Amino acid sequence: MNGNWLPQAPLTASGRPVLQPGEVERSLQSSVDLEAEENPRLTPLRSGLLALTTHRLIWIDESSNSGYAIFLANVIHAYPPKKSIRSMFHSPRIRLQVSVSAEGRIGEKGSTSEMITIVIRGKNDPDAFFSKLWDALRSRPWEVEEKNGEVTSVDGGVSGPGSRDGPSNSVWIAMPVVGVSGILRKEQEIWESTDKSLQEAFQDLNALMSKAKEMVSLAEKMRLKLLSGSSAHANVANDEELGSNQEMQDWLLSVGIASPVTKDSAGALYHQQLSRQLADFVQRPLERSGGMIAVIDIYCLFNRARGTELISPEDLLQACALWDKLDVPVMLRKFDSGVMVIQNKTHSDEEIFTRLKSLALKPNALRMGVSPSDAAIILGIAPALAKEHLLTAESKGLLCRDVSPEGFRFYVNLFEEIDPTNTHLVKHHGLFEAWVSAASVFG
Amino acid sequence: MQTLGNFKLPQFFNYPPYFTLQPVRETREKQVQLWKELILDYCKSQKVFIIGLEEDFPLFINSAIERSLSHEAKEVFLSSLVSEGRAEWMDKGHKKCLILWLRIQDWADCILNFVRENGLENGVMTLEDIRSGIESRGTELEGIDRGVLVRALRHLEQKGKAAIFKGSATDDEGVKFSA
């Protein structure tokens, strides 16, 4: 697919567009073509996914995992899908007039322009899509950002003790309130002041929103700093400090997905897109929890990060189930007991087994065994997950179980070490001898 | 080293998983094998012929580590002995198990040896003599289960090396050897 006539748009590993700061996804359409009808030299882009964000139109080819973008800032005009008898037999088309730079690059500022046609082949609602596109074109969030600096400085000038009196440089003459005209003028003044305070209020809201973005980026920065700090000083830091760092990280980790996939924005593509977003999201928690994490934990983390756009457990499971079909680096795994976890495809149980075995070989564990909660504390994972690991290690013959009124414990597997023809023989320097010496301390 | 009476227990008797039926196939096979050896060794040394599953059996309890075998585990271990011909269920409910640390034909050979050593070829003995007489004192035959003894003698009878008859004076049965 040769889409070189449009600027490249970076995608995540699971094929979701990488959004810029402040950019929010608005709508997704499947099977969309992009054509430059009046310029046959430009190869049309066939049946891709079209994402509309507040800043861009991003066309994604799912087979090659590549994306191309049209910046809305450079869209001069958009023409709605035509309503005519003829159009009933055609896929709906939305036409965009996009500026072209002097060097002939489409989608850059320039004096000439090119018509690009969006052909919507999927069973989508082209009118709804167009109205969202229109909204995005009209609200022009990129201009707000450009002016952000100015706005805040103006704010600073106006706010202060004199703000209630209105702009100080305007001429202000107190009119006596007399007669009908006086009442009218009074009304007019009330109107004006309401209007002004409303405007101020909205300005505050804007300021708050831009501040919120700053807060998110601040949180991000702190998190990175904490991460690098904790790895560098892991040996030096005392437990308490480590604990508070951990807590802080937990808080910061859950600071937001800026543009959550919603049923509203993605429509029929909801689960698929949710699945991709989830795949991107789980990377970080997975890294922290050693390559495996319970689905329940992810559900909580994911919804916390989504803020108000909560998803149901079914949606999460469906999103996980779709990973099989998508080329993503994570997978859903179901243990025999029914416990479900998310893990990296590259994750192997070998490392866990090695750790469990060395754990079971400690003198105390030789004598008393290992309970799932012991293993959970030492491996730093949930007890339910630790139990799954212990059971898997048992099924591999590394461990064996002891069920008693005291509970469920695991011991290193000695059965293989014992010679059935000479049950009193204890081989030297073997596991069995190690156990005998550990057990005799107790007995 | 732990002992049960004069029986020396192996080290792994104190290994708690030894008393939990292992679910993983390979581990369980090994565990069953170790239990079978231990049961036969113990019964042989203590001359135990019958194990009742619903009664306390010293070998199936380890008070030192507070572990004991579940009913299911006992049945699994004994069933595996039964499948090898080293034990027999005495009832359909699997409540009692006859342990044959020597198979019936081995017992028969044992009796023949005993007969030869004591010069009793063509001689006559009562069953009670064989079980607790002076001649059998200190041999494997001392205290043999009556049922097992009768079956071993029947085995000899089929080979024409013994004949069981009803005693006239007492209720006891007698046997005439013809080796």
| CATH number of the domain enclosing A267 | 1.10.10.10
Full domain range(s) for residue A306: 258-344
Residue B166 phi/psi, 5-degree rounding, is -80, 130
**A251 and A262 assigned to the same domain:** no
β-pairing, B7-8 vs B3-4, is antiparallel
For residue A386, tell me if it sits in a domain.
yes
pLDDT-above-70 percentage for chain A: 75
Q: What is the pLDDT of residue B115?
A: 87
Q: Which residue from B minimizes the CA distance to A443?
A: B64
Q: How many CA atoms lie within 13 A of A194 on its CB side?
A: 6
Contacts of B96 (CB under 8 A, 6+ apart): B50, B51, B52, B53, B89, B90
Q: Does B20 touch chain A (CB under 8 A)?
A: yes
Q: Which chain B residues contact residue A436 at CB under 8 A? A: 11
Q: For position B116, what pLDDT does the model report? A: 87
Residue A336 lies in a domain: yes
Q: Of A336, A400, A414, A417, which to mutate for an interface test with B (greatest number of B Cβ within 10 Å)?
A: A400
- B25 touching A (Cβ < 8 Å): no
Residue in chain A lying closest to B19 (CA): A402
- Judge if A308 and A384 occupy the same domain: no
Identity at A67, one-letter amino acid code: G
Contact A443 B12 (CB under 8 A): no
The residue with greater pLDDT, A200 or A169, is: A200
- Candidates B14, B22, B34; nearest CB to A401: B22
A41 and A129 together in one domain: yes
> pLDDT tens across A304-359, in order?
888 777 889 998 998 898 888 888 888 888 888 888 889 888 777 788 888 888 88
The tokens describing B112, both together, are: 């023949």
DSSP E strand stretches across A273-334: 292-294, 330-334
Alpha helices (runs of H) in A4-158, residue ranges in sequence order: 126-139, 141-158
| Phi and psi angles of residue A425, each rounded to the nearest 5 degrees, phi first | -80, 130
- Across the interface, which of A403, A414, A424 has its CB nearest the CB of B15? A414
Q: Contact A404/B16, CB-based, under 8 Å?
A: yes
The CATH number given to B104-177 is 1.10.10.10
Question: Which among B11, B26, B67 has the least Cβ separation from residue A426?
Answer: B11
Residues A322 and A385 in one domain: no
Contact (CB<8Å) A424/B33: no
Same domain, yes or no: A137 and A203: no
pLDDT tens profile A120-136: 887 777 888 888 888 88
Q: What is the pLDDT of residues A132-188, one digit of tens each?
A: 888 888 877 777 666 654 444 333 333 334 434 444 444 444 455 566 777 777 888
Please tell me which of A245-259, A294-308, A388-402, B124-138 the model is most confident about, judged by mean pLDDT.
Answer: A388-402
Which of the residue ranges A80-84, A213-217, A395-399, B175-179 would you say has the lowest mean pLDDT?
Answer: A213-217
Q: Does residue A8 form part of some domain?
A: no
On chain A, the residues whose CB falls within 8 A of the CB of B30 are 415-416, 418, 420
Q: Which residues contact A44 (CB under 8 A, 6 or more apart)?
A: A33, A34, A35, A36
CB pair distance less than 8 Å for B17 and A411: yes
Judge whether A251 lies within some domain. yes
pLDDT at position A188 is 83
Residue B154 touches chain A, beta carbons under 8 Å: no
Give yes or no: residues A210 and A294 share one domain: no
Query: What are the tens digits of pLDDT across the range B125-146?
Result: 888 888 888 888 878 888 888 8
Out of A395, A403, A435, closest to residue B24 by CB: A395
Which residue do the tokens 């800026």 mark?
A258
**Residue B27 with chain A: CB contacts under 8 Å:** 394, 397, 400, 413, 415
Q: Has residue A319 been placed in a domain?
A: yes
Consecutive 10-residue runs of chain B (179 residues): their mean pLDDT? 80 90 92 92 90 90 90 93 91 90 89 86 83 81 86 88 75 78
* Ranges of each domain in chain B: 3-99, 104-177
SS3 string, A107-135, reads CCCCCEEEEEEEEECCCCCHHHHHHHHHH
Q: Is residue A224 part of a domain?
A: yes
Tell me the residues of A at the B interface, defined by beta carbons under 8 Å apart. Answer: 369, 394-395, 397, 400-404, 409, 411, 413-416, 418, 420, 423-424, 426, 432, 435-436, 439, 443
In whole angstroms, give the CA distance from residue A185 to residue B127.
134
Q: pLDDT at position B98, please?
A: 92
**Fold agreement between B3-99 and B104-177:** yes
Q: How far is A402 from chain B (nearest CA, A)?
A: 4
The pLDDT of residue A164 is: 42
A401, A420, A426 member nearest B20 (Cβ): A401
Query: Could you report the predicted ipTM of this complex, rounded to two decimals?
Result: 0.83
CA A160, chain centre distance (Å): 39
Residue to substitute from A402, A409, A435, interface B, most B β-carbons within 10 A: A402
Based on the fold, state whether residues A339 and A284 are members of the same structural domain. yes
Number of domains in chain A: 4
Q: Which of A415, A435, A442 to mutate to test the interface with B (most CBs of B within 10 A)?
A: A415
Whole-angstrom distance, CA of residue A23 vs CA of residue A216: 13
Give residue A172's pLDDT.
46
Q: Are residues A273 and A311 in the same domain?
A: yes
pLDDT for A365 equals: 84
The partner residue sitting opposite B17, judged by closest CB among A397, A402, A424, is: A402
The SS3 assignment for B174 reads strand
Task: Report yes or no on A233 lying in a domain.
Answer: yes
- Does a structural domain hold residue A427? yes
What residues of B are in contact with residue A424 (Cβ under 8 Å)? 8, 10-11
Q: B3-99: what CATH class?
A: mainly alpha
Query: Given this model, what pLDDT does residue A399 score?
Result: 92
Residue bearing the bigger pLDDT, B109 or A269: B109
Instruction: Confirm or reject contact between B10 and chain A (CB < 8 A).
Output: yes
Same domain, A397 and A353: yes
Residue A231 has pLDDT above 70, yes or no: no
On whether any CB of chain A is under 8 Å from the CB of B33, the answer is: yes
Same domain for A339 and A316, yes or no, is yes
Query: Among B20, B41, B69, which would you mutate to test the A interface (most chain A Cβ atoms within 10 Å of its Cβ)?
Result: B20
Pairwise CA distance, residues A8 & A1, whole Å: 13
Extract long-range pairs of B22-26: CB within 8 Å, 24+ residues apart. Answer: B22/A400, B22/A401, B22/A415, B23/A394, B23/A401, B24/A394, B24/A395, B24/A397, B24/A400, B26/A397
Q: Are residues A32 and A49 in the same domain?
A: yes
Q: How far is CA B23 from CA A204, A318, B27, B32, in A?
A: 67, 33, 8, 11
